[in-house]
A and B are shown apart, each in its own frame.
Chain A
């Protein structure tokens, strides 16, 4: 798993880790049942405090992405096992989309262009997912 941290992004470090693990899981770079590096190993690799990694893993566990097995470490859960209700899940996504829409407004990207861009990114994402599945 490749995690890259950017201290200049202003995004809390643990949330950067959360986002990247979720990205790896969604794209298929990590598969259900795959083990994640230990807290200490990842802390050393990324040169961050172990508290930060522990916080990221705890957040991923609450979101239903990871499962903590006593004594043997952290593993990726199968998709579709989110503990949140569907309504809550769509509401969360709506909030994210709202911020994208605001960004688009400031970057003077029109509605059609935004829709096209979303379509393009989706295709790209599915393509990456397909390639992973083949390997």
Chain B
């Protein structure tokens, strides 16, 4: 096994007396596109800050590329690029100057990638950064992150400031351009609560709820376990008591809707045994799985 890109074990962090993370553990393998899903305030940004030594955890361990970010901060930061949810540039710099400034800290800088992304996002290099919208600031920060060709991209809510119409295409372009240059080696760790845009991109994910990991799974595995079963009956539909094993149960006169996690086949057989007029089954999307996992 190669060294995990991120390894978090039993992480606890407190802000004053309020506990933000209660024993979080997760492992991100190199080359994965890893989703970190949670509502606002669930502890996503706190976790990311611990990865970058921007916060010191109360207890637990954090390893990035096998190193402790508290001891090897410079090396960890040299090998990854972090795009925070709110990006600030020196307001007197133009886009060109802001990129050159970032490049001066980096060992590598891919001019070709930088240029083609500037074109794609229609950013004028001579424009001052002070006039950029929130979405454009994120785009500029992402261009800088990709041009540096790091081993890992750490993205915190990268799509939250963007127009819903461009979100999906944009994130696809960014992650595609980044991973394509060195397939299987480049890791993406992305925190978001806007999950739909990432449906096809995520290999594996963790759902964070109130500082705890409530679900960690491969995207395909999660989609095959979490299913929605619907059945329609000639007479009255069965009641919740008969389907306590379901994750959720809704009944409306003659029809029922169940959300199941892993025990779908068993509950499907049980439904069929009750001779319904019709049964349908479909997988949940990652966003629906997220919503079913948090309270």
Residues of A whose CB lies within 8 Å of any CB of B are: 5, 7-14, 39-40, 43-44, 46-52, 54, 106
Contacts and interface: CB of A to CB of B under 8 A. Distances in A.
Contacts of B183: 39, 50-51, 54
29 contacts: A7-B200, A7-B223, A7-B283, A7-B285, A8-B223, A8-B282, A8-B284, A9-B282, A9-B283, A10-B223, A10-B281, A10-B282, A10-B283, A12-B220, A12-B223, A13-B200, A40-B176, A43-B176, A48-B200, A49-B175, A49-B200, A49-B201, A50-B183, A51-B32, A51-B33, A51-B183, A51-B203, A52-B200, A52-B203
Interface of B: 31-33, 168, 172-173, 175-176, 179-180, 183-184, 199-203, 219-220, 223-224, 227, 272, 281-285
A50 B283 contact: no
Nearest to A16: B220
Contacts of A12: 220, 223-224
A52 to B, nearest CB: 7
Nearest to A51: B203
A49 B199 CA distance: 9
Contacts, number: 67
Contacts of B285: 7-8
A14 B31 CA distance: 17
Contacts of A47: 168, 172, 199-201
Given A5-B200, A7-B199, A8-B285, A49 B224 contact: no
A10 B227 contact: yes
Nearest to B221: A12
Nearest to A12: B220
Contact of B283 (A5, A8, A54): A8
Contacts of B179: 49-51
Contacts of B180: 39-40, 50
- If over half of B's interface residues share one DSSP class (helix, strand or loop), that class is named, otherwise mixed; here it is mixed
A10 B282 CA distance: 7
**Closest 4 interchain pairs by CB?**
A48-B200, A10-B283, A12-B220, A8-B282
Main secondary structure of the interface of A (DSSP, over half): helix
A48 B183 CA distance: 14
Contacts of A10: 223-224, 227, 281-283
A51 B175 CA distance: 11
A70 to B, nearest CB: 14
A48 B285 CA distance: 14
A50 B176 contact: yes
A5 B283 CA distance: 13
Nearest to B279: A106
Given A9-B283, A54-B184, A106-B272, 7 more contacts: A10-B227, A47-B199, A47-B200, A49-B175, A49-B201, A49-B202, A50-B180
Nearest to B268: A106
Contacts of A52: 200, 203
A5 B285 CA distance: 13
A114 B97 CA distance: 70
A47 B33 CA distance: 13
A123 B284 CA distance: 35
